[in-house]
Structure 1
Amino acid sequence: MKQIPQSRKKRTKNYKSPVALFNSLKLRRSLIDSYGQKNIYKVIIGFNLFLISIGSLFYTNDLVEKLEERELRQIKLFAEWMRYAINSDYDEDLNGIMEMIREANSFYEIPTIYLDENNMPAAHNNIAFPENVSPENQERIIQENLAKMKQEHNPIPVEIGEDRVGYVYYSNSFLLTQLRYYPYIQLSGIFIIGFLAYLAFSSARKAEQNQVWVGLAKETAHQLGTPLSSLMAWTEYFRSDPDMDPSIADEIEKDVQRLEMITTRFSNIGSMPTLKEEPLAEIVTGFVTYLERRVSSKVKFYIDDQLTEGQRVLLNRNLFEWVIENICKNAVDAMGGVGEIRISLIPMLHLNEVFIDIQDTGKGISKSNLSKIFRPGFSTKKRGWGLGLTLAKRIIENYHHGKLFVKHSEPGHGTTFRIMMQVTAPVPSAGS
């Protein structure tokens, strides 16, 4: 009997038990869920701010109504004094009474205009005039203020005897006008400050999320390193056994190489990957050929290549293949392991872009979930972390400066994801 390779013996000591691994996954999932809880806190805080805003508006509106009633009483008193002054039989007291009326009305700074029985302005108070204004301009300003007053309030009648009636028109005082609009200005300031604070906190939270995902990816890559080394040792062990079918070791080696590539992908998260001009159709075709052998045999893949031969795209091969893998595996799950996946490579030369449409015949995505599918931790499956599409979107948009979104989805009729990438010039064909 052959001995177990020494590298296998040593490295098995570094294995985590299934319980420890489960607890690690559970901890990481709790980190993801914590961001969902923060969204709930934001809703609660926003609702409380809304209640405070409504309360402030109602309270200020109550103060405005009380001040309006007070000013109305003041104007009625002013009208009564006007009636008394006009009907007074004591001419020597008239000037004093009019001065007292002006002083009382000036205290509240209420603009007023009195129209006599001929509907002509006979007196006014608290009307602002420019310095050295001419009589014609003064009359024009009075008429402009009078028109405004007629729209704001009903006039107060002044009975001056013998069926003659004058009217007092007035506007809100400057204090009342300020108080009416102050809460809106105040709330606008609060919302602007709140919005800026939200942007600052969102930026900080996004940076924190990035640190979590980077740490998560690098930790995963580190944890994969130990079993990979052991698997490589086991592969050599199987090859050295003459009773073992060599093809088994070859297949194991292919999967080990695949795991090594996955480890490299996780290691690249958090650092700017190297982008190279790669033949897009060749990469997609080669990877789909590999993937097709490792999913359900009842899933058929079709590639519709409309690109110019040799069309290249600036990308990182390992990360880009990861995106295709995540989307295709989600499609396989959505189809229950039975269906078709069609990948279309569409040139958009006028935009200097290429579209990669990945269409499945699965169960589709509900409208309520369309806005959540790229959110960290969101998943409709019982297993999984809900990070596949999140990482795929980050890889395409942050690293490749492209776009990834759901082009179309209909429950019961499948989903189409679209990737938009910048293209480079096609490779010249031989003899051109």
Structure 2
Amino acid sequence: MKILSNTFLFKRITILVSFVIVTLILWNTFTIFQKFKYEERIRMEILGEAQKELSNANLNSNIALPDKIITTNKSIPLILVDDKGEIIYANNLDSIKSLNPKYLQKQLAIMKVQNQPIEIIYNGKNKQFIYYKNSDLLNKLTYYPLALILILILFLGVIYLFFSSNKAAETNKLWTGMAKETAHQIGTPLSSLLGWIAILKMEKVDETYIHEIEKDVHRLNTIANRFSKIGSTPELKKENIVEITKQAFDYLESRSSKQIAFSFYSSDNNIYTKVNEELFGWVIENLIKNAIDAMLRKGELILTIENTPKKVKITVSDTGKGIPKKLFKQIFKPGFTTKKRGWGLGLSLSKRIVEDYHNGKIFVKKSELGKGTSFQILLDKI
């Protein structure tokens, strides 16, 4: 709980610090933008004075300084117009496009929106106006905070993924610990049951009853072994997949509603592949149990094994309520379930066993609402 509390506190601090950083970035950028804009305004006012000096100059005037001020402006686009609005000349605009009067008028309209014009008065009565746009540097500065915010969002995304993966790892560790503890706890009553079976045999109880009890004890032992393997890489051995599948099929058939018609078909009696017998049997049982639940314990269940040149195809079909196509992938996610009871772990666990441990594939082959569903498993042959 202390770890979770510290993690939650760290997340809140991270969000707060990120918010402060974004605010400071925006404020700092706004301040710099305004400063640059003010400096460009001063430069345009100085340029206006230089233009005025040139217009009032005579043959004896020294025009070197005002001329230099005007010619050194290489960054701020401007248009000089007279008091009637006629364009006198333009500077720092596209030289080819500037030959088109419509282009100049369009640029002039933009300049009128961006900045107030610089007024130049000659001889106390003649007027000219300098209109100008923001420089490229100022325009780039406008997008600077967006770039920084995107970087910050990326940074937060990385932090979020880190915490999510860390949380998932903690959850997996918790489930693994619970599974192993369950296997350990089952071991004690199993040993006791084996002792009681020995006593029953000595008492010469009906062998049929003892045989059924032994089957259930063996089943409990299998379950314990399955849980003990969670979280560790299982050992794969060359096995007859038909025999393993048939064992799981027969066990559930004998303990299911008689209103369900079970059918088992295999193209060959012996098909070999590398599997872990206990874990793969768990997958088959999960698929059969899901099929039984989907049919509300009444219908037809068919399991087929097809031997192809490279793959073994195992298909479990039912005549249940079916699955909407949009849920075909979602049903394999941990925690997803359409049942009122259950934790939604059966199919996700089956997917992990088949795809992560056996390098196979499990998917919904087909499903039709009100008619049934077919799941298929693909495994590599030896």
Q: Which amino acid aligns with 1:315?
A: V
2:149 counterpart (184, 187, 204) = 187
Structure 1 contact 345–357 (Cα < 8 Å) conserved = yes
Q: Which residue of 2 aligns with 1:363?
A: 321
Q: Which residue of 2 aligns with 1:284?
A: 245
Q: 2-side partners of 1:211 and 1:390: how far apart?
A: 16
Q: 2-side partners of 1:64 and 1:287: how far apart?
A: 73
Structure 2 SS opposite 1:417: strand
In the TM superposition, 1:106-121 aligns within 5 A as 110-112=75-77
Q: 1-side partners of 2:121 and 2:369: how far apart?
A: 80
CA offsets per residue over residues 254-300 of structure 1, 9 Å max, x none?
A: 11111111112112222222212223233323431222111111122
1:373 counterpart (315, 331, 337) = 331
Structure 2 SS opposite 1:187: helix
Instruction: Please say if 1:205 is aligned against 2:167.
Output: yes
In the TM superposition, 1:148-297 aligns within 5 A as 150=107, 153-154=110-111, 170-174=133-137, 176-242=138-204, 244-297=205-258
Distance 1:45 1:173, change over 3 A: same
1:143 counterpart (78, 81, 95) = 95
How big is the alpha-carbon RMSD for the aligned residues of Structure 1 and Structure 2?
4.8
Structure 1 contact 85–98 (Cα < 8 Å) conserved = no
Quote how far apart the aligned CAs of 1:202 are. 4.0
Q: Which residue of 2 aligns with 1:342?
A: 302
Quote how far apart the aligned CAs of 1:340 are. 2.0
The farther-off stretch of 377-386 and 63-72 is 63-72
Quote how far apart the aligned CAs of 1:353 are. 3.3
Instruction: Please say if 1:417 is aligned against 2:360.
Output: no
Structure 2 contact 303–317 (Cα < 8 Å) conserved = yes
Sequence identity, in percent? 35
Quote how far apart the aligned CAs of 1:64 are. 9.3
Distance 1:77 1:159, change over 3 A: closer
Higher relative contact order (CA 8 A, sep 6+): 1
Equivalent residue pairs, number: 364
CA offsets per residue over residues 80-122 of structure 1, 9 Å max, x none?
A: 546634542567275544556678xx6xx84235578997967
Instruction: Please say if 1:88 is aligned against 2:56.
Output: yes
Q: 2-side partners of 1:326 and 1:369: how far apart?
A: 18
Structure 2 contact 37–134 (Cα < 8 Å) conserved = no
Segments of structure 1 that go 5 or more residues without pairing to the other structure are 1-34, 128-140, 425-432
TM-score (norm 1): 0.65
Structure 1 contact 53–187 (Cα < 8 Å) conserved = no
Q: Which amino acid aligns with 2:76?
A: P
Q: 1-side partners of 2:14 and 2:297: how far apart?
A: 43
Quote how far apart the aligned CAs of 1:357 are. 2.8
Quote how far apart the aligned CAs of 1:77 are. 4.3
Q: 2-side partners of 1:252 and 1:214: how far apart?
A: 29
